[in-house]
Amino acid sequence: MTDEHDTNGGEDADDTDGAPVMEAYRYPDGSITYPGHPYGPGGQEPTETVDLSEYTAEVVTWTTSTATPPGVREPNTIAIVEFDVEGEPVRAIGQVASETIDIGDDVRPVYCEELRDPEAGIREPASQEWDGFRFEPIE
């Protein structure tokens, strides 16, 4: 894998202006995975990255958790969404930024500095990253 794919776990990668990107990997067969993996469905290494935060997605399904882990908001709505990246479907799962969501809604990824409270968990706050992306309905 080349250096262009060597990131800190994908979601916290930055584009050239320092803005966080929702990084997916494209493979030689055209498939795209999120999060990126060292080897794609065909067993080959990725050829490039795709910033999913530049795309909108459609809600495939969703659920609301009322018994969340320490530090995660309660209730916590989570959705599986599907991006269409140049005809290639890419699915992702994540928190929803609003209180209401429906199957078929169009959403966009929005960056969030803390998806959960780092002080509420059992891990040392510095031991992992707490940021990522939520999905916000497009009105």
Please list the ranges in the chain whose pLDDT falls under 50. 1-12
What are the residues whose beta carbons fall under 8 Å from the beta carbon of 139, sequence distance 6 or more? none
Please tell me the predicted confidence (pLDDT) of residue 68.
Answer: 83
Please tell me the predicted confidence (pLDDT) of residue 139.
Answer: 80
pLDDT digits (tens, 9 = 90+) for 112-127: 877 766 666 666 656 6
Contact 85, 55 (CB under 8 A): yes
Range of the domain at 72: 3-137
Domain count, the chain: 1
pTM: 0.79
Please tell me the predicted confidence (pLDDT) of residue 8.
Answer: 37
Please tell me the predicted confidence (pLDDT) of residue 50.
Answer: 96
